[in-house]
């Protein structure tokens, strides 16, 4: 069964319209596809940076906890030395044949106290620095999460441009890409 000349003409016309529609949207399709690919790469990079920031925040916080434990140990040791110093001072004040020995031990404990106190303060300073680094990394993580979300939204909205054959979703995805990239840069400023 052969098609009538009218049917052939109609089929040819439909093919021409389809080809024309394809060419009319070809540039948009190309731009949107490139945009999606770029957004996917940016999203992957930001996601990796987000993971690194999260790990750094956790690591720094753990280091802060360790420094706090060391500081607490040092302060407990300081208190023990201080108590011993006072006990030897009381014993020395009581007089007797060992009074000089007690004064010497009291003096040694006083000298140790200063060293231990300095050590405890150093650990506390370390703790504070680690907490500050942890907070910075945690803030960076939050900003990178927002950035990754904006980039993912851009990918989804760019896809709508392909499906709907409309330019405005693609422009919206470009806006989201710029916003997401700006937030990612802000995370490191």
Percent of the chain scoring above 70 in pLDDT: 86
pLDDT of residue 14: 47
Give the model's confidence band at 43: pLDDT under 50 very low, under 70 low, under 90 confident, else very high: very high
- Give me the residue label for tokens 């231990």: 116
Average pLDDT over residues 39-60: 96
Rounded to an integer, what distance in angstroms lies between the CA atom of residue 110 and that of residue 78?
A: 10
Give the model's confidence band at 150: pLDDT under 50 very low, under 70 low, under 90 confident, else very high: very high
- Contact between 38 and 177 under an 8 Å Cβ cutoff? The reply is yes
- The pTM score is 0.72
pLDDT of residue 84: 87
Rounded to an integer, what distance in angstroms lies between the CA atom of residue 99 and that of residue 93?
A: 7
């Amino acid at each position: 069964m052969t098609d009538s000349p009218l049917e052939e003409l109609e089929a040819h016309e439909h093919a021409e319209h389809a080809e024309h529609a394809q060419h009319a949207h070809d540039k948009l399709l190309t731009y949107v596809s490139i945009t999606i690919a770029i957004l996917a790469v940016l999203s992957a990079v930001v996601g990796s940076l987000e993971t690194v920031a999260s790990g750094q925040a956790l690591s720094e916080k753990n280091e802060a906890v360790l420094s706090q434990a060391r500081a607490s140990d040092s302060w407990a040791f300081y208190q023990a030395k201080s108590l011993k110093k006072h006990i030897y001072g009381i014993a020395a004040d009581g007089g007797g044949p060992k009074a000089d020995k007690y004064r010497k031990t009291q003096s040694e404990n006083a000298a140790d106290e200063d060293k231990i106190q300095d050590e405890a303060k150093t650990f506390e300073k370390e703790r504070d620095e680690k907490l500050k680094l942890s907070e910075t990394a945690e803030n960076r993580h939050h900003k990178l999460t927002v950035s990754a979300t904006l980039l993912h939204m851009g990918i989804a909205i760019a896809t709508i441009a392909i499906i709907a054959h409309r330019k405005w979703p693609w422009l919206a995805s470009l806006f989201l890409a710029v916003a997401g990239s700006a937030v990612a840069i802000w995370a490191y400023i």
